[in-house]
Amino acid sequence: MEIKIIYKNLCPNCGRNISSERLIKGLACEFCLPKETDELNSGFLSKIEERNKKLKDFEELFERVIKGKMWALQIFWVRRFLEGESFALIAPTGSGKTTIQIILSLYTAKYLKKRCLIILPTSLLVHEVSEKLKKFNEELDLNVQIASYHSLLSQKEKMKEIEKIDYSEIVVTTHLSVMKREEINRKIFDIAFIDDVDSFLKRSKAIRFVLRMLNLPEKIKNIAENIFENKINQKEGISEILKIKEGENINSQLIVSGATQKVKKTKSIAILNSIFGFSIGLKPEFGRNILDCFIYSENTMKEKILDLVKKIGSGFLIFIPMDKGSQFALELENFLLENGIKVKSFLKPDKKSFEDFKNGVIDGLIGMATAKSPLVRGIDLPERIRYAIFSGVPKFIVRIKVENFHPTRWLMLLNNIQPAIKDIYKKDYENLVTDLSKLKSLTKEQIEEVRNGLVENKTLKGILEFAKNVALKGIEFFKKIMEDEDVLKAIKESPTISLGLEKDEYIFLVSDYVAYLQASGRTSRLYVGGITKGLSIVIIDEQKAFNSLKKDLGYFEEIEWKDLNEIDIQKVIEEINEDRKKVKLATEGKLKIEETKIYLKTRLFIVESPTKVKTIARFFGKPSKKKYDGVDVYEVFGANSLLMITASKGHITDLSLNEGLFGIEVNETFIPYFKPIKRCLNCGNEMEEEETSCVCGNTKFYDSEIRIEILRKIASLVDEVIIGTDPDSEGEKIGFDLFLLLKPLNGNIKRVRFHEVTKREILKV
Ligand SMILES: [Zn+2]
Ligand SMILES: [Zn+2]
C-alpha cells in the first residue's frame, strides 16, 4: 500500500493542504483543481503557466529571426527576465547574450509595453546593436520605435536621434553619452541592459545616472543619491532601502552582462545589491577537457618541439619552465623561425603579436610557464588555441638564501620534501609552514624590502619584521635538516624531490602545478556547446620534477597521463579541429543545438547545509551569489551546466501535532500530516503555523515555508533539479519532501548520493 501524506499549507498554487498523490502527479490541490483535468485560473502555478506561454511567444520570435533554437542558457535568462528578476548575465563563449538582449528588448517594448535602455561600452557597438535591432524589428514586423545615440553619428544625425528619444520605446547608447547628454539622462525607463559591467562600474557617476533614469520609487532614488553624496551613512541608507522594498514592489529591472575582474565592495555595488538583490560575480573559471600527454626527448629539446609543431600544426602555445629562463624562449623563437615556423615570443603583453596570432598570421606564441605569465593570463582564444607544449616540466629553482626569500615558493618546497622529514623535525616543520602561510599575501615589493632588511641586517616594521624572522628561521631549519645524513639520503632517493648543486650549495627544483593547470587550461574552454577538447604535451626534462607534478596535480584534478607515442594523434587532432569549428560557428551565432553532442544545461542543485553549498560552489571557481528573500543561491559553471546551488538547511517539514494522533490521522488508514518548520530564532522553540509569537515573547522566527517557496521558484526556471541531500535517513526524508514539493514545478528531478564532498565525487554523480 502506498502511504498517503498530507502536506499542510503547501499546495504550490494556493497554499492550502495538499496530498502526496496530487504532488507526485505534479498537480495543485483538490480545491484548486477539483478534477485533475481542470484548468487553473489563478495562483502561483497558473502564473508560471502564463510565463511559459510568454516564453513560447518569445521563442517563436527568436526562431523566426535566428532560424535556430534557443540554448538552455538563453531560455533560462528569458524565464528569469519574465519573472521580473534583475540579474547578471555571465556567459561562456558563443551563448549569444547580445542577441538575447536585442530580442528581449523588442519583445518587451512591443508586448509588455515597457521602455528599454541599452547601454554599451563603445560607439561601434551601439552602431552594430542598433543595426541589428532595426533589422529584427523589420523582419518581425513589430513597428517598435528605436533611437540610437553615439559619437560616430554626424551632427545632423545626432539631432534627429535626440528628437526621436522622446517617443522611442528602445534607446541604445554608450556609457559616456548617458552621463553627458541631458536629453538622454532626463528620461525614465523601465528596464536597463548594461553591457560590459566591469568598465561601467568604474564610473560611479554612470550608475547614479542609471538609477535616476529607472522607474524606481522616488524615496529609494533619494536615499541612493544621499548615500552617493555622503549625506547619509551607507549602512543606514541601505537598511532603509530594504525596508521600503518590503512594502513596495520594484517594477524596473536591471540586466547587466559580464563579470568583474575584481570585486571591490564599493558604494555603487552595495546600492545596486540592495535595490536589485543580486551581486555582480567574478569572472568564473571554466571547465577542463584536456588530453594530458608526456614525451621524452630523444634529441635536443628544440628539435623535439620543431618536430611536434610540424606534426600538429598551427595554433599552439609553448611554455618555458622558469628554471630555463627567458633567454631560452628567445633562442627557441630564433630556432623555430630559422626552420620556417611562424612564431613570436610573448614575454610581455603585446597587442600586435596577440592580433597576429588571433588572425593566423603567426602559428604560435612562446612564453614563460608561471601563473603570472602574460601567456597564461591574458590569452583567451578558444577558436584559435589548439594545443600547448611544455618545454620541460613547469618548475622553478628554490634557493635557501636570504636574498632569495620567497614565502610561497618555500612553502611549495616544504610540501615537496615533506616525506623526507624525520619525526624529530616535525614540530619545527609545522611551525615554519604555519608562519610562511601567513606571508602568502606579501607583495613583490614587500618581499624585496624583507630581503634588503636581511642583507643589511636592518630592523623592519610590523609584518615585514615578522617575515624577516621567519626567513631566518627557515634558513636555519634547512641547514639543520640538510646536515642530517638520513634526511639527505631520503631526499636523494626520493622519486619526487629534485636536488641540485650550485657552487657547493644545494638548490631544489620544485614543480609548479598551478602554472601547469592554468597554462594547459588555455587549450580548453567552456563554450555554449560544451567544453572544447584541448591537448597538452609535457616534454620531460627532469623525471623527478615530473613525478612531483603528477603527485601534486592528483589532489586537484583527475588527470590520466598518456604517453604521446601511444595515442592516436590523428584522431585527437580531428577532435580538436572539430571543436574549433564549432566554437567559431558559435561565436558567429551560427551553431545549432542539433550539431552538438553535449550542451550546457541549467540545473538547481540542493544540498543540506549552507557550508556545503559554499564548498561545492568553490570547486568551480569563484561563484557569483544572489539572495532570494534572505536565501543564498550560488551560481557556477560546472559539469556541463550552469549550476544554481543552495541549501535546504536541514529538514523542511515536520509532523504536525495538531492533527489526529501526533500528526497522524487514524481512521481506516494512517495519514501522516507534515507541516513547514517554524522555529523561534530566540529560544529555538518549534512553533505551529498559525502562531505569530513564541511563548518566549519573540516574534522573529525561521520559516521553512519561505525556503520552499524560493526553491519552487528557482525549480521553475531550470532544466533539471538535483537533490543532493546526505545519504543517511534524515537526508532521505529531506530528499523525499523536496521531490514531492518541487514536482509540480519541474518534471526533471534527480536524486544523487555522494559520500564525500570532493570535486571528483561531485562531477562523478
Ligand atoms: Zn491549491
Ligand atoms: Zn522563543
Q: How far does the centroid of ligand 2 lie from the alpha carbon of residue 677, in Å?
A: 14
pLDDT value for 280: 62
Residue partners of 22: CB distance under 8 A and separation at least 6: 11, 28, 29, 30, 33
| Shortest-distance ligand to the CA of residue 31 | 1
| Shortest-distance ligand to the CA of residue 695 | 2
Q: In the chain, which segments carry CATH 3.40.50.140?
A: 600-764
Find, among 92, 44, 99, the residue nearest to 67 by Cα: 99
Q: In the chain, which segments carry CATH 3.40.50.300?
A: 62-215+251-276, 290-394+514-593
How does DSSP assign 725-758, residue by residue? --SSHHHHHHHHHHHHHHTTT-S-EEE---SS--
> The sheet that has 562-563: what strands, in order across it?
343-345, 364-368, 316-320, 387-390, 534-540, 290-296, 562-563
Give CA separation, 468 vs 168, 403, 405, 443, in Å: 65, 11, 9, 14
Residue with cell 601567456: 375
Architecture in CATH of 290-394+514-593: 3-Layer(aba) Sandwich (3.40)
| Shortest-distance ligand to the CA of residue 744 | 1
Q: How many DSSP H helices and E strands does the chain contain?
A: 29, 32
Find, among 205, 171, 201, 203, the residue nearest to 187 by Cα: 171
Find, among 99, 384, 79, the residue nearest to 257 by Cα: 99
Q: How far does the centroid of ligand 1 lie from the alpha carbon of residue 47, in Å?
A: 13
pLDDT value for 1: 44
| Shortest-distance ligand to the CA of residue 678 | 2
Cβ density class 377-398: b for 16+ within 10 Å, e for less: eebebbbbbbbbbbbbbbbbbb
Q: How far does the centroid of ligand 1 lie from the alpha carbon of residue 333, in Å?
A: 72
Cell numbers at 440, concatenated: 602568502
| Shortest-distance ligand to the CA of residue 18 | 1
Q: How far does the centroid of ligand 2 lie from the alpha carbon of residue 73, in Å?
A: 44
Give CA separation, 289 vs 78, 239, 304, 575, 595, in Å: 29, 45, 25, 12, 19
Q: Which residues of the chain have pLDDT under 70?
A: 1-2, 93-94, 258-265, 278-287, 378, 555-558, 593-599, 621-622, 639, 659-668, 760, 763-765
Distance separating alpha carbons of residues 195 and 173, to the nearest angstrom: 11
- DSSP β-bridge partners for residue 164: none
Maximal C-alpha separation, the chain: 92
Architecture in CATH of 600-764: 3-Layer(aba) Sandwich (3.40)
| Shortest-distance ligand to the CA of residue 29 | 1
pLDDT of 220-261, one tens digit each?
A: 999 999 999 999 999 999 999 989 988 888 889 999 886 655
| Shortest-distance ligand to the CA of residue 697 | 2
How does DSSP assign 631-668, residue by residue? EEEEEEEETTEEEEEEE--S-SEEE-TTSTBTTEEESS
**In CATH terms, is domain 62-215+251-276 a member of 3.40.50.720?**
no
Helices 426-437 and 462-483, packing angle to 10 deg: 150
Q: How far does the centroid of ligand 2 lie from the alpha carbon of residue 732, in Å?
A: 29
Bridging pattern class, strands 686-687 and 116-120: unpaired
Give CA separation, 406 vs 156, 427, 441, in Å: 62, 21, 11
Q: How far does the centroid of ligand 2 lie from the alpha carbon of residue 730, in Å?
A: 25
Q: How far does the centroid of ligand 2 lie from the alpha carbon of residue 265, in Å?
A: 36
Give CA separation, 80 vs 48, 299, 513, 648, in Å: 11, 59, 39, 22
Cell numbers at 567, concatenated: 595515442
pLDDT value for 597: 61
pLDDT value for 598: 60
